[in-house]
């Protein structure tokens, strides 16, 4: 329940606030991915996949939207599963998931021949998004470390 | 292991579902079955976003402002600099336009008169410490300016050069008390002298040499011209007569004229470096406004009297019309409506008395009244001998209005209102019947 609320709030914050801040380079950090990673790491692969799928659907439906429904549901389901399963230490898990998410989204867009996915997107926007998200990722790691300590109610 | 298999199963199902959704949405496009889902999402989250956005927009703007702060300061400085530059350019453009207009008018005047001028700007003015009215201009002997040259601007005469240095020259204005300029009345040969009276050039004194020549407010004077055009070239407009002084017994008549050029606000001036080949006479004067033109022409007695009579006739006509409504036989019974007439048209009956009063206080009120003013001032002779011994100034045009003379001769001297009014009323009635007969 807490995880669902966290994801929902993150999605709203992402759309309302973060995407409006004009950061240098024109890209913004992807908080939704971070939230999914954090919740999935705390809950395990199955719950992570479900949470990721739901969060992705939410992102797909949330206006303003112009891409196909199910795009981010697919990506975030995989990310949630991977984060829940764990890829080495928590730090590497978070970092790998953060790197994988935009690449997966771009790859899926390329598969369905999304005209917005071009080489320029891959070279300019995706690395910047990854960089910004990585800058914010220590928050998730810190929360996860706190959560694994006894006394953290999940 | 079992947990992991279950998780993989769930992941596989979800991915399949996502791919199915994706494919269906992609294939069906606009008619996708997920359209309602999208719409519902848009409605729900749109509302949420709107509410939250209105709350958090200031925060986002604040963040944006912080993110852009270094650039914003530069931007503000750049804009301020640009703003100052544009404002300066705007003011400069406005000043340039005004100067260009002045130059254009001055060139027009010089062209009409055939003067060859050198333009200059007034750069200094003699202020209150000092008695002379003089300005300094930024053109001198290097520009061909010599002492004793005429200075004018687009409106009229300004003064003459008294001394010239290499780059500057000193101009004494016509309003200087020591300045005397030969002047000529427009449309005639009557000449006089314009003296300055100080007063920042608001008025100049015009002394007409022939005391019998007609002189009325509104008539304009131009420069008479000196020998070889030095210091004054002929034909430059000087001013318009504003009021005529009553100078009984003097050999000259004195009037005060308002200069055409605003001597207190001079900017662009021109120095006449070569006089015209022949006297431009009145051609330099600007065209008169149409209604004034009729009123102040030299044979002005006729034209001046006519509107007043017309107005009175109109009044009479109006009265006749009302009388016709009330009683058609009013004309035959002249004595009964007398009182009524006096009450309803007191201004008309009293007008000569009022005219004389005004002529004493302010002769400039009305051209006609001002001209008669000297006669009225010494009204004894006029009263004793009727219209016959009036000064010659009044004679030439008087043939048209005999009915006015007895009245104007008799009334000014009268002490009590009644004694003035009764003959005047008689005359007024006589004038009315005569006027109607004439009509």
Mean pLDDT, to the nearest integer, of B279-308? Answer: 57
Residue-level pLDDT at B79: 94
Fold of B114-288: Thrombin, subunit H (2.40.10)
In three-state form (DSSP H/G/I as H, E/B as E, the rest C), the secondary structure along A71-131 is HHHHHHHHHHHHHHHCCCCHHHHHHHHHHHHHHHHHHHHHHCCCCCCCHHHHHHHHHHHHH
Q: How far apart are CA B376 and CA B360, in angstroms?
A: 9
Decide: B305 and B295 in contact? Cβ < 8 Å. no
Complex-level ipTM = 0.76
User: Total structural domains in chain A?
Assistant: 1
Sign, CA torsion B5/B11/B15/B21:
positive
Q: Is the pLDDT of residue B84 over 70?
A: yes
A contact set with B (CB within 8 A): 12, 15-17, 20-24, 44-46, 49-50, 52-53, 56, 58, 61-63, 65, 68-71, 73-74, 77-78, 81, 84-85, 108, 112
Is pLDDT above 90 for B94? yes
User: What integer is the mean pLDDT of B280-296?
Assistant: 65
Mean pLDDT, residues B320-330 taken together: 44
CB contact under 8 A, A20 and B19: no
Give pLDDT, residue A97.
86
Instruction: Check CB contact of B65 with chain A, cutoff 8 Å.
Output: no
pLDDT at B386 over 80: no
CA separation for the pair B419, B107 (Å, rounded): 60
Contacts of B56 in chain A (CB under 8 A): 16-17
Q: How high is the pLDDT of residue A148?
A: 63
Q: Check CB contact under 8 Å for A70 and B22.
A: yes
DSSP string, B232-271: --TT-EEEEEEEE---TT-SSEEEEEEESS-TTS--EEEE
pLDDT value at residue B126: 74
User: What b-and-e string marks burial along B284-307, b requiring 16 or more CB atoms within 10 Å of the CB?
Assistant: bbeebeeeeeebbbbebbebbbee
Give the largest Cα separation in chain B, rounded: 147
A59 found inside a domain = yes
Interchain CB distance below 8 Å, B7 and A15: no
CB contact under 8 A, B59 and A17: yes
Rg (CA), chain A: 15
Question: Which whole number is the average pLDDT over B29-34?
Answer: 73
Please state whether the peptide bond connecting residue A64 to the residue before it is cis, i.e. omega within 30 degrees of 0.
Answer: yes
> Chain A residue with minimal CA distance to B37?
A61
User: How far is it, in rounded angstroms, from Cα B85 to Cα B42?
Assistant: 49
- How far, in whole angstroms, is CA B245 from its chain's centroid? 25
Q: B21 and A69: CB-CB below 8 Å?
A: yes
Can you read off the two tokens belonging to residue B274? 């070569």
pLDDT of residue B370: 38
Summarize the confidence of residues A28-33 as an average pLDDT.
82
pLDDT tens string B141-195? 999 999 899 999 888 899 999 889 898 898 988 888 888 889 998 887 788 999 8
Provide the pLDDT for residue B218: 87
Best mutation target among B4, B5, B7, B46 (most A Cβ atoms within 10 Å) is B7
Task: Out of A140-144, B6-10, B34-38, B321-325, pick the least confident.
Answer: B321-325
Do B133 and B201 form a contact (C-beta atoms < 8 A)? yes
Suggest the residue from A5, A22, A74, A132 to mutate for an interface test with chain B (most B CBs closer than 10 A): A74
Give the pLDDT mean for B43-48: 81
Domain residues for the domain of A25 are 2-148
Q: Which percentage of chain B shows pLDDT scores above 70?
A: 63
Cis amide prior to B231 (ω within 30 degrees)? yes
Domain boundaries in chain B? 1-33, 35-112, 114-288, 300-438
pLDDT in tens, B194-210: 988 877 778 888 988 88
A85 vs B contacts (CB less than 8 Å): 4, 7
Structure tokens at A150: 């006894």
Please tell me the distance from the alpha carbon of residue B22 to that of residue A69, in angstroms, as a whole number: 6
Whether A23 is covered by a domain: the verdict is: yes
Pairwise pLDDT comparison (B163 vs B386), residue with the higher score: B163
Is residue A153 in a domain?
A: no
pLDDT at A109 over 70: yes
- pLDDT band at residue B129 under the 50/70/90 scheme: low
Give me the mean pLDDT over the B348-368 stretch.
42
Query: In this structure, is residue A154 part of a structural domain?
Result: no
> Which residues of chain B lie closer than 8 angstroms to A12, CB-CB?
45, 48-49, 52
CATH code of the domain in which A90 resides: 1.10.1760.20
Q: What is the pLDDT of residue B1?
A: 55
How high is the pLDDT of residue B309?
Answer: 44
Q: What is the pLDDT of residue B323?
A: 44
Query: Is the pLDDT reported for residue B312 higher than 90?
Result: no
In the structure, what pLDDT confidence band is assigned to residue B78 with cuts at 50, 70 and 90? very high
Residue in chain A closest to B3 (alpha carbons) equals A46
The minimal CB distance from A16 to the residues B3, B17, B49 is found for: B49
Residue B351, pLDDT score: 42
Q: What percent of chain B has pLDDT over 90?
A: 11
């Amino acid at each position: 329940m807490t995880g669902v609320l966290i994801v929902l709030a993150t999605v709203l914050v992402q759309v309302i606030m973060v995407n409006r801040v004009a950061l240098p380079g024109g890209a913004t950090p992807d908080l939704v991915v971070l939230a999914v990673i954090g919740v999935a790491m705390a809950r395990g692969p199955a719950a992570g996949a479900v949470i990721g799928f739901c969060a992705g659907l939410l992102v797909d439906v949330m206006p303003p939207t112009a891409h196909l429904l199910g795009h981010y549901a697919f990506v975030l389901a995989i990310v949630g599963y991977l984060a829940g399963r764990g890829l080495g230490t928590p730090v590497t898990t978070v970092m790998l998931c953060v790197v994988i998410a935009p690449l997966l989204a771009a790859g899926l867009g390329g598969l369905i021949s999304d005209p917005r996915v071009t080489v320029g997107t891959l070279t300019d926007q995706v690395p910047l998004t990854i960089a910004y998200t990585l800058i914010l990722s220590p928050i998730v790691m810190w929360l996860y470390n706190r959560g694994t300590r006894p006394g953290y109610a999940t | 292991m079992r947990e992991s298999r279950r998780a993989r199963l769930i992941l596989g199902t979800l991915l399949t579902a996502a791919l199915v959704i994706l494919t269906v949405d992609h294939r069906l496009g606009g008619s996708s079955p997920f359209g309602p889902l999208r719409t519902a999402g848009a409605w729900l989250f749109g509302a949420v976003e709107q509410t939250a956005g209105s709350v958090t927009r200031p925060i986002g703007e604040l963040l944006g402002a912080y993110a852009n702060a270094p650039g914003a300061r530069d931007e503000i400085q750049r804009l301020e600099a640009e703003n100052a530059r544009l404002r300066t350019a705007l003011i400069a453009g406005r000043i340039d336009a005004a100067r260009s207009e002045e130059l254009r008018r001055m060139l027009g005047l010089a062209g009409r008169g055939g003067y060859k001028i050198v333009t200059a700007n007034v750069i200094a003015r003699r202020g209150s410490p000092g008695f002379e009215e003089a300005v300094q201009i930024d053109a001198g002997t290097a520009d061909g300016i010599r002492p004793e040259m005429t200075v004018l601007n687009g409106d009229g005469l300004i003064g003459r050069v008294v001394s010239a240095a290499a780059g500057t020259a000193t101009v004494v204005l016509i309003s200087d008390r020591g300045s005397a300029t030969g002047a000529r009345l427009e449309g005639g040969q009557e000449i006089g002298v314009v003296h300055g009276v100080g007063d920042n050039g608001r008025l100049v004194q015009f002394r007409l040499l022939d005391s019998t020549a007609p002189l009325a407010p509104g008539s304009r004077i131009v420069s008479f011209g000196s020998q070889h055009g030095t210091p004054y070239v002929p034909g430059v407009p000087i001013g318009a007569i504003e009021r005529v002084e009553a100078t009984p017994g003097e050999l000259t008549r004195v009037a005060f004229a308002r200069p055409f050029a605003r001597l207190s606000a001079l900017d662009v001036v021109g120095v006449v470096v070569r006089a015209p080949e022949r006297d431009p006479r009145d051609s330099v004067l600007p065209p008169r406004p149409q209604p004034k033109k009729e009123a102040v022409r030299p044979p002005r007695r006729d034209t001046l009297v006519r509107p007043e009579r017309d107005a009175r006739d109109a009044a009479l006509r109006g009265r006749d019309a009302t009388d016709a409504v009330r009683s058609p036989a009013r004309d035959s019974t002249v004595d009964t409506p007398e009182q009524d007439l006096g009450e309803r048209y007191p201004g008309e009956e009293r007008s000569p008395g009022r005219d004389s009063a005004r002529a004493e206080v302010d002769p400039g009120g009305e051209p006609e009244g001002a001209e008669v003013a000297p006669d009225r001032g010494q009204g004894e002779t006029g009263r004793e001998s009727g219209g016959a011994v009036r000064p010659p100034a009044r004679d030439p045009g008087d043939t048209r209005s005999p009915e006015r003379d007895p009245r104007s001769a008799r009334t000014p001297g009268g002490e009590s209102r009644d004694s003035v009014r009764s003959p005047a009323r008689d005359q007024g009635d006589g004038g009315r019947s005569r006027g109607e007969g004439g009509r």
